[in-house]
Amino acid sequence: MAPDEFGEAFLQGEFAQIYQQTSESFKENVSFADFERLAVSFNQGVNEYELESSFSVAKHINRYVWVDEQETKGLQVVFDKHGTIQILQIAPLASFPKTDRIYTENEYAMPIKDNWFVLWGGTNQLINYHYLSPIQRYAYDLVIMKNGSTHHGNPAKNKHYYAFGEEVAAPAAGTVVEAVDGTRDNVPGVMNPEQPLGNHVIIKHANGEYSLLAHFKKNSITVKEGDHVTTGDVLGECGNSGNSSEPHIHFQVMSSLDFFNGKSIRIQLKGDKEPIQGDFIKPIK
CA distance 103 to 121: 15
Q: Which helix (H) or strand (E) holds 36?
A: helix 32-42
Distances (CA, A) of 21 to 25, 34, 45, 267: 12, 16, 25, 40
**Residue pLDDT, tens place only, 95-138:** 999 999 999 999 999 999 999 999 999 999 999 999 999 999 99
| DSSP helix/strand/coil, 51 | strand
Average pLDDT of every residue of the chain: 97
Residues in the chain: 285
Q: What is the pLDDT of residue 60?
A: 86
Mean pLDDT across 219-227: 99
268-282 as b/e: b if 16+ CB within 10 A? ebeeeeebbbbeebe
User: If 0-12 CB within 10 Å is exposed, 13-18 middle and 19+ buried, where does residue 263 land?
Assistant: middle
> DSSP string of 203-219?
EE-GGG-EEEEEEEPTT
Q: Let me know: does 187 contact 161? Beta carbons within 8 Å.
A: no
Is the confidence at residue 232, as pLDDT, over 70?
yes
Is the confidence at residue 92, as pLDDT, over 70?
yes
**Residue pLDDT, tens place only, 34-86:** 999 999 999 999 999 999 999 998 878 999 999 999 999 999 999 999 999 99
**Residue pLDDT, tens place only, 137-161:** 999 999 999 999 999 989 999 999 9
Instruction: Work out the pLDDT band at 284, boundaries 50, 70, 90.
Output: confident
Is the confidence at residue 272, as pLDDT, over 80?
no
Instruction: Work out the pLDDT band at 285, boundaries 50, 70, 90.
Output: low
Q: Which domains does the chain have, with CATH numbers?
A: 3-92 (3.10.450), 98-281 (2.70.70.10)
**Residue pLDDT, tens place only, 153-212:** 899 999 999 999 999 999 999 999 999 999 999 999 999 999 999 999 999 999 999 999
The share of the chain scoring above pLDDT 70, in percent, equals 100
Amino acid at site 29:
N
